[in-house]
Amino acid sequence: MATELPAVILAIGGSDPSGGAGIQADARAIQACGGWPVTAVTAVTVQNSAAYLEAQLVAPALVAAQIRALAEDLPVAAVKTGMLAAASIAGAVADEIERLAPACPLVVDPVMAASAGGALLDAAGVSILKTRLLARAALCTPNWPEAERLAGVPVADLDDARRAAERLLGLGARAVLVTGGHGTGSEVVDLLLDGDGTVVFSSPRVPGDSPRGTGCTLAAAIACGLGAGRPLREAVALARDLVAESIRGALRLGRGAPLMPQMPPVRSRDAK
Ligand code: PLP
């Protein structure tokens, strides 16, 4: 009997040498979801579990060449973008996606700053993200500060999150998931707005220090679900489970934030 091949998921983003976030976390999340991760590196950052030190950007033409080499060879089923670093790289990524994978679902994680302080996208890059990448996005996954910056409205509660999400739909994203993991309540509340309306996902906050890379992991796992043909709401629910499991399993390997070994979501493991 032929073995079913994994969905090939392209993660475009920065390298985090600690493995806590960035394309290393994306790749583990995609693998945990049963996909085959392929990556295009936009920047080499220097960071560990405790600090973000510096970064050197990859030339936009080389970022484009990585995407082209992958898309010309492999059946890329979904694309996820993370750290785009600069307008020149964001523009090259938008060009390649439009040319090579216009039909692929695109999940845009609009990361702009690392929790340890490093800038992950310059101001001109934010404007490319708004004008070119959101227009192609099946889903954009901002946290509250990112939603506030992209939508230009304050986000301090769920009503604000809905208002911001509506604005981002207005910029062309087909769906927006405003994540509430950065809040402090006993529940993590994420708000999904798509063409069918709003769904609120709520789950108990896992106690303890927040690990690195939760946003990367969530967006990569959703991209994997979409690439495997799951409906958006199901892909979001499974990805949230994966993040919760991974936070529970986070390890204090370094001096700083805990690092997550991305764990398959309980539901899909039970289903096997
Ligand atoms: N570093 C890189 C390369 C990333 O892509 C990201 C998020 O996408 C981060 C750091 C941010 O992760 P955190 O906020 O957990 O520091």
Is 210 touching ligand 1 by the criterion CB < 6 Å? no
Ligand 1 contact via 246 beta carbon (within 6 Å): no
Distance CA 154, CA 245 (A): 31
| Average pLDDT rounded to a whole number, residues 8-36 | 97
Residue range 3-11: mean pLDDT, rounded: 94
- Report whether residue 256 contacts ligand 1, using a CB cutoff of 6 Å: no
Per-residue confidence band for 105, with pLDDT thresholds at 50, 70 and 90: very high
Question: Which residue's CA is minimally distant from atom 10 of ligand 1?
Answer: 114
Helices 60-73 and 87-100, packing angle to 10 deg: 20
DSSP state of 138: S
For residue 55 and ligand 1, the question of a CB distance below 6 A is answered with: no
pLDDT band, very low/low/confident/very high, at 3 (cuts 50, 70, 90): confident
How far, in Å, from the CA of 82 to the mean position of ligand 1?
A: 8
Residue 1 has pLDDT above 70, yes or no: no
The total number of residues shown for the chain amounts to: 272
Among residues of the chain, what percentage have pLDDT more than 90?
A: 87
Q: Residue 80 — φ and ψ, nearest 5°? A: -125, 130
Residue pLDDT, tens place only, 209-245: 899 999 999 999 999 999 999 999 999 999 999 999 9
- 116 in contact with ligand 1, CB cutoff 6 A: yes
pLDDT of residue 29: 97
From the CA of 99, how far away is ligand 1's center (Å)? Answer: 27
Q: Classify burial at 185, counting beta carbons within 10 Å of its beta carbon; exposed 0-12, middle 13-18, buried 19 or more.
A: exposed
Antiparallel, parallel or unpaired: β 52-57 and 36-47: antiparallel
Strands annotated E in 133-225? 139-140, 175-178, 187-194, 197-204
185 CA to centre of ligand 1 in angstroms: 23
pLDDT top residue among 3 and 98: 98
Q: Residue of the nearest CA to atom 5 in ligand 1? A: 22
Which residue CA neighbors atom 7 of ligand 1 most closely?
22
Ligand 1 pocket, 14 CB below 6 A? yes
In this predicted structure, what is the pLDDT of residue 265?
66
pLDDT for 268 equals: 52
Ligand 1 centroid to Cα of residue 232, in Å, is 24
pLDDT at 183: 77
Distance 196 CA to ligand 1 centre (A): 31
Encode pLDDT of 246-269 as tens digits.
999 999 999 999 999 987 766 554
Give the pLDDT confidence of 59-101 residue by residue, as tens digits.
999 999 999 999 999 999 999 999 999 999 999 999 999 998 7
Q: Is the minimum distance from the CB of 121 to ligand 1 under 6 angstroms? A: no
pLDDT recorded at residue 103: 87
CA distance 223 to 209: 26
User: Residue 272: is its pLDDT beyond 70?
Assistant: no
Does the C-beta of 115 come closer than 6 Å to ligand 1?
yes
Query: Looking at ligand 1, which atom is closest to the CA of residue 216?
Result: 8
Give the torsion through C-alpha atoms of 81, 83, 88, 93, to 10 deg. Answer: -10
CB of 37 sitting under 6 A from ligand 1? no
Alpha carbon distance, N-terminus to C-terminus of the chain? 18
| Number of C-beta neighbours around residue 89 at 10 A | 27
Q: How far apart are CA 174 and CA 129, in angstroms?
A: 14
SS3 of residue 91 by DSSP: helix
Q: How far is CA 177 from CA 56, 146, 164, in A?
A: 30, 11, 10
**Adjacency order of strands within the sheet including 175-178:** 52-57, 36-47, 8-15, 76-81, 106-108, 139-140, 175-178, 187-194, 197-204
CB 24 within 8 A of CB 93: no
Whole-angstrom Cα distance, residue 191 to residue 158? Answer: 8
Beta-bridge partner residues of 262: none
Q: pLDDT digits over 129-177, tens only?
A: 999 999 999 999 999 999 999 999 999 999 999 999 999 999 999 999 9
